[in-house]
């Protein structure tokens, strides 16, 4: 796995921010979430036939502000998932064609009993309730659906193969853009 400069600093900063948030909410690390006993589930429900994750981090945009932490965030998640025995594919700075191709290839790994994770970190926007993920070559101001990857496309690709778990994580600032009738946004 590629290590990106500053990832340790990013990780340390994120942990410190989390500690501050928890302290402000009077939450201590000793407090635990309610736990459901494993005996409440059938053994078959707890066993994945496979665990796979597709992680895409876009930060080096050609026409939009570059982002600082996506590669670090992707590396951190990939490491955590690998610790949980996930097979991970981590890719950086993809075009729209590459994003679509990778999704089509990734879905070949899915099937009954598979735990699937899809993570995207980068720029995004929303039109009429639909979320779009921006590839690195996305135009600067004229965010148009045809230049981006819609979450409908992602959901359709990933749910076709009926995985046991389909977890989608988006780390994007979704700029709301009202849809205009003449197709300009």
Question: Would you please indicate which residues are annotated as catalytic (active-site) residues?
Answer: 123, 173
- Interatomic CA distance for residues 36 and 126, integer angstroms: 36
50 close to 112: Cβ distance less than 8 angstroms:
no
176 close to 143: Cβ distance less than 8 angstroms:
no
- Interatomic CA distance for residues 175 and 131, integer angstroms: 9
3-state secondary structure the chain: CCCCCCHHHHHHHHHHHHHHHHHHCCCCCCCCCCCCCHHHCCHHHHCCCEEEEEEEECCCCCCCCCCCCHHHHHHHHHHHHHHCCCEEEEEECCCHHHHHHHHHHHHHHCCCCEEEEEEEEEEEEEECCEEEECCCCCCCCCCCHHHCEEHHHHHHHHHCCCCCEEEEEEEEEEEECCCCCCCCC
């Amino acid at each position: 796995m590629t290590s990106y400069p500053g990832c340790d600093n990013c990780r340390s900063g994120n942990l410190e921010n989390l500690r501050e948030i928890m302290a402000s909410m009077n939450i201590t690390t000793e407090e635990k979430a309610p736990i459901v006993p494993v005996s409440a589930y059938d053994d078959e429900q707890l066993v994945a036939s496979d665990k796979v994750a597709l992680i895409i981090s876009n930060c080096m945009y050609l026409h939009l502000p570059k982002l600082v932490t996506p590669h670090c965030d992707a590396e951190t998640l990939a490491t955590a998932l690998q610790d949980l025995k996930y097979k991970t594919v981590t890719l950086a700075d993809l075009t729209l064609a590459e994003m679509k191709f990778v999704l089509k290839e990734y879905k070949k790994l899915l099937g009954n009993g598979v735990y699937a994770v899809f993570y995207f970190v980068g720029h995004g926007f929303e039109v009429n309730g639909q979320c779009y993920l921006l590839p690195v070559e996305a135009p600067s101001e004229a965010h148009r659906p045809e230049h981006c990857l819609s979450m409908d496309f992602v959901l359709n690709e990933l749910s076709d193969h009926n995985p046991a778990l389909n977890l989608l994580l988006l780390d994007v600032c979704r700029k709301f853009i009202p849809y205009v009738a003449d197709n300009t946004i």
